[in-house]
Amino acid sequence: MSNMSSIKVSIYQLLFYVSFIIIVGSKYLRETVFVNAYPLLSELIKVLIIIACIFLLLKYILEPHTKKFIIFSIVILTIGVVVSYNSDSFFILMPVVALILNMSNIDITKVIKVWLIEIIALMIFLAICYRLNIVGEVINSAIRSDGKIRYALGYKYSTFSSNYFFHVTIFYLYLRKHMIKYVEIITLFLINLYLYALTDTRAVFYYSTAAIVICLLLKMFKIKTYSIILNKYSMLFSAIIAGVLSWSYRYRLPFFDQLDLILTGRLRLGSAAFNNFHITFFGQKIRWIYEQNMFSELIYNYVDSSYLNILFGFGIIILLLILVGYYIIGEKKLSRDTYYTMMIVFLSLHSTFDPQLIDIVYNPAILFLGYVIYNEDEIKNLNKIY
């Protein structure tokens, strides 16, 4: 590669990473109580996301592209714009679409590293602010039926901190692989345990613990196998499970009632969504009610399952693109890795009853979909650019 070409590639990468950091940081701040204390911050966040999308548009225009990729981009962008308009979700969907369409010259491993550093830094910053009482607890801190308080720790909801660190755990294990030290494994577990004790967010604690134990076994026994079947079908199977269980809840069999109790009402809410909302091709505007207020007639209706949330909010086309995209990635060589299998399995399971799959601030692995259009040689060359 010539010096001039190297400079151009570096500029493209700079535009991408600056945009990525802005988008992730802005979305993270939106989930903290800072936006409650400083209302203008919400508008600033929107402006920053728009600026980041402009940078990504500039990167796309400056870069050379094949005719095949341009056609692919036009199709995906058109779908993204239509769905964003129908669902009134520009600031949720379009940044992800823009990042996915700009994965040329970008190594996903480095993207995940950048995400990991940024999220850990932001979590530490918020923890310090919380400790110094710069930010406090939200008024609606959740309380379990047994009286246990679930602390929000500076976030809007008590589940956010544990969900962030679940993803930190999964992606840290993915990056470190067999090189991870035992002290790192213990540290990850202790932090997850600490957050569980404060937030009582059970599912992600169980997922994190299971992932840590599996990683420990892989390291101890030097296991380096992977599963193409799991790589290809984990997302699809999990989506089917989420749909079938929620649909079947309407029959009110004792098994489903008990399972819904364990899942804290997720099946009931998913089943209600099938009754209350149409399934569309290109999304619809849904007024999600995130909180139940005893003085309001509004009823909590938020669907936690990523797959169902995407299905009802963004439409069946977006859901199919994600599922088919991960299937295609599962066939490619970059997924033939023990820790990719672990990562995709836990992300798939977590997405069955939690809503973070398409949210870039939680899940940078959604950008793997940017490699769908590339053949094996093109993907291999992405790592040689550096």
Residue 165: per-residue pLDDT: 98
Strand pairing category for 142-143 and 149-150: antiparallel
Say if residues 282 and 79 touch (Cβ distance below 8 Å).
Answer: yes
* Amino acid 285: pLDDT: 97
Task: Give the pLDDT of residue 17.
Answer: 98
pLDDT of residue 269: 96
- Residue-averaged pLDDT of the chain: 93
Q: What pLDDT is attached to residue 12?
A: 93
Residues of the chain with pLDDT under 70: 1-9, 139-147, 291-298, 382-386
Neighbours of 4 (CB within 10 A): 8
